[in-house]
Amino acid sequence: MPPFAVQNVIFDLDGTLVDTAADLHAATNHVLTTIGRPTIPLSAVRADVGFGALKLIERGLNRTGGIGDHSLEQLKDVFIDYYTQHTAVKSALFPGGKEMLETLTARGIGMGICTNKPLKLAEKLLKEMKLDHYFKAVTGGDSFAFKKPDPRHLSETAKLVGEGRYLMVGDSSPDIMAAKAGGVPVIGVSYGYGDVPMADLEPDIIIESLAEVAALVAA
């Protein structure tokens, strides 16, 4: 496929740019142990990462005996408190990410983050991983009155990054659906946390590594 003629690239965060599953798994297990439930394996939470803390908690409860009389909102507070203190313990860029970010920066490509993760947590993660300086804009699931798969989340993020055409890079259905609904080119990664096979989502192209992104972008 020829390179996409764009000036800006918008990335999803969890499962696309950064492998955060281990830290989110730890927060989920913290919630479960707090209420006397057994822990669950990392493999049990990976597909749920893109759908937020409430979904991680809900499915964790269902896997360990059901929701019962527990309040998901109260348990979410326990989750967020723990995760805020352990945001980037094991999280790491996916392979090829560092080189890709350096290459796009050197070429003057504008970059942004469009994630359904709460904004403060997204910003904290990027800062702790020393990645924040690469991005002209970061928006979270609470930045607007809408979020992915609503295409406005993507388009409003792009406005903050700067003028010019842009594309999306994501790992799950909210990313691909938002881009398609907005008529935006989209690259799907094969390694992320999505609950639907990437091939079924039909992005413009599927990549195996972030190292492939730079070659697909031509201003």
For the chain, which residues make up each domain, given as ranges? Answer: 8-20+91-216, 21-85
Catalytic residue among 12, 14, 19, 23: 12
The 10s digit of each residue's pLDDT in 116-137 is 999 999 999 999 999 999 999 9
Q: Nearest 5 degrees, angle CA 80-CA 179-CA 109?
A: 85
Q: What is the mean pLDDT of residues 8-31?
A: 97
Q: What is the mean pLDDT of residues 7-12?
A: 98
Residue 19 catalytic?
no
- Helix or strand or coil: residue 189? strand
Per-residue pLDDT band at 194 (split at 50, 70, 90)? confident
Helices (H), 64-207: 72-85, 97-106, 119-128, 151-161, 173-181, 198-201
> What is the Cα–Cα distance from 14 to 23, expressed in whole angstroms?
11
52 pLDDT higher than 90: no
Helices (H), 16-144: 21-34, 53-63, 72-85, 97-106, 119-128
The 10s digit of each residue's pLDDT in 154-180 is 999 999 999 999 999 999 999 999 999
> What is the Cα–Cα distance from 18 to 143, expressed in whole angstroms?
20
pTM: 0.94
92 pLDDT higher than 70: yes
Architecture of domain 8-20+91-216: 3-Layer(aba) Sandwich (3.40)
